[in-house]
Amino acid sequence: MRFKLPIRGVHIGKTCVDGTPFDPGELAHAHINHRDRKPDSGRATLGWICARSLTALREYLVHEIAHLASDSGHDERWRKSVKRLGGRVPAAYKRKPRR
């Protein structure tokens, strides 16, 4: 697999690699914006993956790999890929019943 950005590292902790807190409800994110850097430290965060915990990191990676495996968005093919990879489909992405 080729990446458009180099993976600089993975950070697991209560705050992001740049020291800022996670947004409420956010478990993990990737720094892909070329302007991402903490202004006072100048530390570049481009290419970092940040997660609150190892469990959050695993779920985040399964979520993203399922997109690649299914070549689709948050649809039924993607949900099946998540399950095949051993992950769980978060409530926000479960199929909504028709009314």
Q: List, for residues 41-56, the tens digit of each pLDDT value.
A: 455 788 888 999 999 9
Yes or no: say if 59 and 88 are a contact pair by the CB < 8 Å rule: yes
Fill in the amino acid letter for 52.
R
Instruction: Show the low-confidence residues of the chain (pLDDT under 70).
Output: 1-5, 34-43
| Eight-class DSSP state of 40 | T
Predicted TM-score (pTM) above 0.85: no
* β-strand partners of 28: 51
Q: What is the largest CA-CA distance in the chain?
A: 52
